[in-house]
Chains A and B, each alone.
Chain A
Amino acid sequence: MERAPRFAADLAHLPTSAHGPRATTWWGTLGFILIEATGFALAAAAYFYLMGQTETWPPGQSPPDWLWGTLQLVLMLASLWPNWWTDRVAHADDLRKVRIGLVAMSAVGLLTLVVRAFEFGALNCRWDDNAYGSMVWVLLGLHATHLITDVGDTLVLTVLMFTKHVEPRRFTDVTDNCVYWNFVVAAWVPLWALLYVVPRVV
């Protein structure tokens, strides 16, 4: 560094936080969504592969009961609205409304976990019955893991938004969390079809 540097521009005017594709965390969230979507797709492919190897599907059991899984579907689709709203008010850095949105989303999240517990009870198979049972439990378990992580994340964020740590970047965290919830819901739609519809139509 003997030579004096040649300054081409002064970037001091740039903002220090951003939402969406201008922020690194948005891309990071997208990266992890890609990874997990690949995991879901491969597990679903394994389901079809095993189904193709078996004469009757499900082999000797009845398919999972409609009630809880479908209730879950309705609940999740309905949750898209408060999620969208939370995302919007976070984009506007509106702390009061973000708090409302997060509390609502925490409640919805906890509710989906309760429903999930009932879903496990209504599968009509055990994981160690046969390959079908193993597949069903793993698919539902994989999705449950995502539910638990996202609900946990939402709860922590909610608490955080009531502390002194509120700053512009926290709103970016909220929007990323909303993106992730959309993914959890989007993943449930085909999984629900796989677990509840496919065994009834083949």
Chain B
Amino acid sequence: MSPRDASPFIRRDGPALEEVETYARLERTWATPPGLWGWLSSVDHKQVGRRYIVTAFVFFLLAGLLALAMRMQLAGPEQTLLTPDRYNQIFTMHGTTMMFLFAVPVMEAFAIYLVPLMVGTRAIAFPRLNAFSYWVYLAGGVMLWVAFILNVGPDVGWFSYVPLAGPQFSPGKRTDFWAQMITFTEVAALAVAVEIIVTVFKQRAPGMSLNRIPLFVWGQLVTSFMVVFAMPAVMVSSSMLIMDRLIGTHFFNPAEGGDALLWQHLFWFFGHPEVYIIFLPATGFVSSILPTFARRPIFGYTALVLALVATGFLGFGLWVHHMFVTGLPHLGNSFYTAASMAIAVPSGIQIFCWLATLWDGRPRFATPLLFVIGFIVIFVLGGLSGIMLASVPIDSQVHDTYFVVAHFHYVLIGGAVFPLFGAVYYWFPKFTGRMLSERAGAWNFGLFFVGFNLAFFPMHILGLIGMPRRVYSYPAGLGWDDLNLLATAGATILAAGVLVFLGNVWHSLKYGLVADDNPWGAATLEWATTSPPPSFNFVHIPVVTGSNPLWEEPDGLPVVGGLRVDQRELLLTSVVDAEPEVREPSPEPSIWPLLSATAVTILFIGSIFTPWAVVWGSIPLAVGLIGWFWPKSAPDTPEPVID
């Protein structure tokens, strides 16, 4: 203890303990140990979240390179850059990587980093599970890409339809790697969903009642529930697929009473909600960025929350619209058409509230806002082509053409990637303590917007004039040449935008303006602590008195004291009103999550080669889990009597 420390026995924060001393003790308690070992055993949600974000962006770049390769191949008729077999692997890897290794994980990554800060707590719920989920995700992604490099990458499309993906038509291990990649990423996603739900339910700062939860957090909460109900479907179906392939079950084999459409039902029961699992967090980005840059509270908070929840429910009523051409009964089709159109209502409400916020505010057109406006424009267009596809006659015409490719890139890139880039510009100062360059940001946005529309708008027309998706080449003279060249040119411009972004990140990390706590003048709690935040997030747990706490309490937020500073301790509050209830300990760093994830990896990959891997692989896994949960020390040091 330092000599100026007048109160060596005080182990809780409060007026009796000097601020500097509180900070120092919290840092001792919460800091991740230095060195490689510390790095591997970290359970700090900010470190894990950063790793998730960086890893997801690496996968985005890899999948983007594959997209460029496809566009080069298709730039003109009858090119020979890629063989048909390689092309099949490439579009499958592109779609699979973008959906499972980039889009979903990157949204979770932002939740892992931001949700605990936004609700005003010191750590995420179940931090070791969080570390575990990252390692499992990483292992699944690396496995898939190593397989691809060894020429055993999956080649049957990102949704692996049977019978093509079944044992008869896809011998070899390619599809097995796909199915196990699903298992890895879904285990990771489910773990994160549970962490987010519990963090939001139980760890909100005192006073943050349900009607004061930031919209980003609402979006992540609804998303997490969708993950809970949707992801088991793809785990069940991909496990059935791998069993059909490896141990001779017959789930999808019509000759033995199985059914190929069962795959499609199970896959799309997950696959359609998947779109909202990507999209709802993106709306959370939009609802965070807009009020800050319009400089007024969000318009229609309650309507926006209800729209989120409604989308969450409706998202599960829609899966059959991916199967209109499979010959289901007609009445059923009409129902799903109606449901597909109904989902336009909550989306419309959201767009209306956002425009009203902008209209009524005093907008400041910084880069995050530019990306949000780009999002609104593109998303409206993508929604329109989506409404067209919801109609059975149109879908029957353009099914499996480039019209569909155009549509889902409008929704996915417009609806998720644009807000995501806005979010990176917005929160980069919080993550790193440095601002990204605004000038490069404007270029980044301009190249994205122009490149994106040039690349994907022509694909609508290509689809309407008959170009099928998933073809590695096409003959000259069909009238497809110019539009394809245009699309490739657009993709190149988009790629230039990505390069500007990478340059901006690299340069700003070293030379960017140093950011203060709240560089944009925002209203939510993550801006109430330093940039980047300390290991324990907040010196004292803030008290929330409104929906825009930092605007409503310009003289600094009131806080509560009484949490231990010599041990990791969290404040738990009640679910509805966020009344303080319990001071709960939070786990220390541990190597066991990594060891357990390694055991899981051995089990999953081993099972591609022999079913017995499930049996003997479960032994190291059991050891890992017991090591994880076994208490490390004697019971906690008892609390001091005098303070």
Residues of chain A at the chain B interface (Cβ within 8 Å): 1, 3-18, 21-24, 27-28, 31-32, 34-36, 38-39, 42-43, 46, 49-50, 53-54, 59, 127-135, 137-138, 152, 156, 160, 164-167, 169
A199 to B: closest C-beta gap in Å: 13
Once bound together, how far apart are the Cα atoms of A111 and B635, in whole Å?
33
Q: Is the CB of A130 within 8 A of B250?
A: yes
Query: Quick one: given A34-B228, A49-B265, are A169 and B539 in contact (CB under 8 Å)?
Result: no
Q: Are A50 and B228 in contact, with the CB atoms below 8 A?
A: no
Q: How far is the CA of A27 from the CA of B198 in the complex (A)?
A: 6
Which of B171-179, B473-481, B625-633 sits within the interface?
B625-633
Given A21-B575, A38-B228; 17 other pairs, CB 8 A cutoff: A6-B557, A7-B559, A8-B558, A9-B561, A14-B583, A16-B582, A17-B584, A24-B203, A34-B229, A42-B233, A42-B269, A46-B262, A133-B249, A135-B251, A138-B240, A156-B630, A169-B585
A164 and B634 contact, CB distance less than 8 A? yes
- Within 8 Å by CB of B251, from A18, A134, A160, A165, lies A134
In the complex, what distance in Å separates the CA atom of A92 from the CA atom of B265?
A: 48
User: CB of B580 within 8 A of chain A?
Assistant: yes
Residues of B bordering A, CB below 8 Å:
12, 14-15, 19, 23, 125-126, 190, 193-194, 197-198, 201-203, 206, 228-229, 231-233, 235-236, 239-240, 243-244, 247-251, 253, 256-259, 262, 265-266, 269, 539-540, 543, 555-563, 569, 571-572, 575, 580-585, 622, 626, 629-631, 634-636, 639, 643
A residues near B243, Cβ cutoff 8 Å: 127, 134, 138
Contact partner, B190, options A35, A160, A165, Cβ 8 Å: A35
Asked whether A24 lies within 8 Å of B556 as measured between CB atoms, the reply is: no
A6 touches B259 (CB 8 A): no
B539 & A5 in contact (Cβ 8 Å cutoff): yes
User: Which A-chain residue is minimally distant from B23 (CB atoms)?
Assistant: A1
Complex Cα gap A39–B240 (Å): 12
Contact of B559 among A6, A22, A32, A152 (CB under 8 A): A6
* Given A7-B14, A24-B126: A128 touches B249 (CB 8 Å cut-off): yes
Residues of A within 8 A of B190 (CB): 35
Given the complex, which residues of A lie within 8 Å of B559, measured CB to CB?
5-8
Q: Is the CB of A130 within 8 A of B201?
A: no
Tell me whether A31 and B194 are in contact in the complex, defined as CB-CB below 8 angstroms, given that A3-B556, A24-B572, A131-B253 are known contacts. Answer: yes
Please report the C-alpha to C-alpha distance between residue A166 and residue B232 in the assembled complex, in whole angstroms: 35
Complex alpha-carbon distance, A133 and B243, angstroms: 13
Query: B563 — which chain A residues lie within 8 A by C-beta?
Result: 11
Question: B194 contacts A28, CB within 8 Å?
Answer: yes
Q: How far is the CA of A8 from the CA of B232 in the complex (A)?
A: 44
Instruction: Tell me how far the C-beta of A165 lies from the nearest C-beta in chain B, rounded to whole angstroms.
Output: 4
A23→B584 contact, CB < 8 A: yes
Asked if A131 and B202 make an inter-chain contact with CB atoms under 8 angstroms apart, the answer reads no
Q: In the complex, how many angstroms separate the beta carbon of B523 from the nearest chain A beta carbon?
A: 18
Selected from A23, A31, A134, the residue in CB contact (under 8 A) with B197 is A31
Contact of B562 among A6, A10, A18 (CB under 8 A): A10
